[in-house]
Chain A
Amino acid sequence: MSEMMANRRDFLRVGSGLLVGLFIPESSRLAAQGRGGNGAVNPNAYIHIGADDSVTFLITKAEMGQGTVTSLSQLLAEELDCDWTKVKTEFAPVNPALYGNQGVYGSASIRTTWAPLRQAGAAARAMLLDAAAQKWGVEKAGLRTENGFVVNPASNARLSYGSLAEGAAKFPIPTGVPLKDPKQFRIIGKSVKRLDTRDKVNGKAQFGLDARLPGMVYAVVARCPVFGGTVAGFDATKAKAVPGVKNVVQIPQGVAVIGENTWAAMQGRKALEVRFDEGPVASVNSEGIRKMFAEYATQPGAVAKKTGDAEAALATAAKKLEAVYEAPYQSHSPMEPMNCTAVVYPDRCEIWASTQMQSGGRSTAAQITGLKPDQVKLNTLYLGGGFGRRSGTDFLSEAVEVAKAMPGTPVKLTWSREDDMQHDLYRPASYVKFAGGVDAEGWPVALTAKVACPSFFGGRPGTVDSTAVEGIHTLEYSIPNIYVDWRRADPGIPTTFWRAVGYTQNTFFAEAFVDELAHAGGKDPVELRRKLLRNSPRLRAVLDKAAEASNWGKPAAGRHQGVAVVNNVGSFTAMVAEVSVTAGKLKVHRVVCAVDCGHIVNPGIIRQQIESGIVYGLSASLKGAITIDRGRVQQGNFNSYDVLRIDEMPRVDVHIVETDNNPGGIGEASVPPLAPAIANAIFAATGKRLRSLPIRPADLA
């Protein structure tokens, strides 16, 4: 069979079993796109039951560590009532007509599949019951299912799902099958082991960089070190003389050197002579960016939130505070550097990629090759970390460009660590000028924030990019007068989503400044937040849990606590960090986190993700930062951009506060409160208010 196209035929393996189509769009947004208003939607396909009783789930969400392979399977298996130990998974092909938009960002995987995947499982189970009822000549209503079997209690007869699958596939797909009451769940809500672990401990798991094809060649690209720069000319003579170098081709992003293996290509690139037109960003440096932000912050901005009259309230406040907070650019630096493998033929293109943007990647390849999207097949491999970086399709574009220049030859394009760090799409740097006031009793009465930073989305002048202010304009505190505005300051450094997006900077800024207000008013930081969260019961509940679990106010001798909360990705998170500062040296001893993410699918994975976000936050708070000089990134590898190591890992205690709400996201829930919890704890320890990340030892001296 050809490697062509993810078409319907790939799913209809009816000859060997059941396939369930489902008439549920992934989201109403997708329903609105191209599905018409007549209710006619394409079926989604998720479940395959083999005659051998194997159960294979098609996973539409890429796996980057967040646990989709396991947790999406739990949703399907719960309602299907199959034998969990027999579940296998495959990544679903990219097919917008079947699956809607496929991508993993915004901690949305469970949120967008919670209903439809359970409904898919329930529909499949109903069809298996139909098949058994027909076979036995009995009423379906009298039958039940049990761990991969249909059982007739009246006769004690049992038929396995595998033996029923082919017959079941002939029944119409039911709609509106009732779902289980959560009290009946036996797979959802349980810490079942991850399904991807075994292959990840024996080297078998196939990541993007592991794609291999017959006749494949290996490419690296020489890019202008300055953002926005272009190739002015090149001489490939020396590069082509390097043993193992097969070809040198120019692509829009730079000059590609193609070799018989990755190392040969890298050696060829070293020998390549390229001249670049560096363009206007060549004059940009970090100090200039900071001045630009500070200057912009004094100018009028687009209003993101206005409640009451903050200026008037500040003028009459018993006490007024002002502070400037800053955060630097950050790289994502997933362990797997960017890469992509592609082959282009005159009438089709096939891609093997670790990407967070499956649908977008396919569209991008179609645009580059001039093919129709359905002539492009994108194979999803495991992601060696994503964190938002792989929501970009820049690396995929490069691979397709090189493959297009060498039709019929599969090309694996690899970025070195330096390529990855110096050509990232960065978490934007940001700058906020706060003012706040407290009344005579010490309670906050006004808060203003003037935000200056680049935009993720661009947008028209005078409009607000909500990702630039989220974490500030979304604060749930009952402060009567709040004003938040934003001005776009774009120094020309490329940016994209970074784990938790705008909250990564803004929750640090806001939760540290609220801490300043608490101290200005003589209030305990937890007491102040409790009072201001009187209209936010879910956030207040996790705050109470974190305070209780951390023994708030009574840290161990020599240790100091800081607290922060956030409501993002549909979840509610509170965190208490416990630190000591001895002779200018910071040690983070313990982080206590309480999270309410509604209904729980897999507590083990939730704990993993909370801990993971804390580690990611610790690296960004205490370790590396991306700085710019002459339009270039100054860092290149983990020696100049360090990240948290095992010997710096604090104890982490995770408390899941389950509530009867639809699931919230989890992958990005714990990143935002980490930095302010640390900074607030450092204030408790030293009286120093650190308003800029990352925290450096010099700041503590």
Chain B
Amino acid sequence: MAITFTLNGGRQTVDVNPQTPLLWVLRDTLGLTGTKFGCGMALCGACTVHLNGSAVRACITPISSVAGKTVTSIEGLSADTTHPVQQAWMEEDVPQCGYCQSGQLMAAASLLAKTSRPTDADIDEAMRGNICRCGTYTQIRSAIHRAAAIKAGAKA
């Protein structure tokens, strides 16, 4: 079944089983491998993308539910790795193995879009669903605060 949606700013049509999770459409059908598979049950956050601007877990989002909507994956977060969270992540040297970081960045970007200066409690709430086995949590927290400052500075 053909399903059309907006992906990273462009119109995209895929012809797949409508039950197929968005995760596997992105990764296997469209070759956008920046979105990661971690658990398949919305338990780890590695597959986080934006659906109509909000963070969702692509691993439990059937492609049928995406029809007509707007999806942003890590590849579309910015054209040149300049989104404030990406800048902040680089400045804080956050990633270790890096596998969970696409999901962390997408979750953080969604948080900052809604809460311009998140508190530590806001960060706990927004990010506790994103597992990092390398343990970069302290750096993620610092980077989110830094990204908020970058964003505020850009506006000022």
Contact = CB atoms under 8 A, between A and B. Distances in A.
B119 interface: no
B36 A384 contact: yes
Given A612-B135, A643-B131, A384 B98 contact: yes
A383 B73 CA distance: 21
Interface string B84-121: 01100110011111111110010000000000000000
Interface residues of A, number: 63
Interface string B40-81: 110110100000000000000000000000000111011001
Interface stretch (A257-265, A286-294, A303-311): A257-265
Contacts of A651: 138
A204 B34 contact: yes
Contacts of B24: 261-263
B123 interface: yes
A334 interface: yes
Interface in B14-48: 16-17, 20-21, 24, 27-29, 31-41, 43-44, 46
Contacts of B73: 203
A210 B102 CA distance: 13
Interface in A591-646: 604, 608, 611-616, 619, 637-639, 643-646
B140 interface: yes
B148 interface: no
A198 B133 CA distance: 20
Nearest to B140: A646
B96 A608 contact: yes
A64 B97 contact: yes
A209 B36 contact: yes
A243 B43 CA distance: 27
A614 B135 contact: yes
B141 A65 contact: no
B134 A202 contact: no
A206 interface: yes
Contacts of A209: 33, 36-37
A334 B39 CA distance: 11
Interface size class of B (residues with CB under 8 A): 35 or more
Main secondary structure of the interface of B (DSSP, over half): loop
Contacts of B16: 261
Contact of A203 (B35, B40, B139, B141): B35
Contacts of A604: 93
Interface in B129-153: 129-141
A383 B99 CA distance: 8
Contact of B95 (A197, A210, A264, A611): A197
Contact of B32 (A203, A263, A336): A203
Contacts of A170: none
A385 B138 contact: no
A678 to B, nearest CB: 15
Given A203-B32, A637-B43, A65 B17 contact: no
Nearest to A647: B124
Interface of A: 63-67, 193-194, 196-207, 209-210, 212, 218, 243-244, 261-264, 333-337, 382-387, 414, 416-417, 604, 608, 611-616, 619, 637-639, 643-647, 649, 651-652
Given A263-B20, A382-B99, 8 more contacts: A66-B96, A209-B37, A210-B27, A382-B97, A608-B139, A612-B134, A637-B40, A649-B138
29 contacts: A193-B90, A196-B98, A199-B98, A200-B98, A201-B95, A201-B101, A202-B75, A203-B74, A204-B34, A210-B33, A244-B17, A263-B21, A333-B133, A335-B46, A336-B38, A336-B99, A416-B40, A417-B38, A417-B39, A608-B93, A611-B135, A612-B135, A637-B39, A638-B41, A638-B43, A638-B44, A645-B137, A646-B140, A651-B138
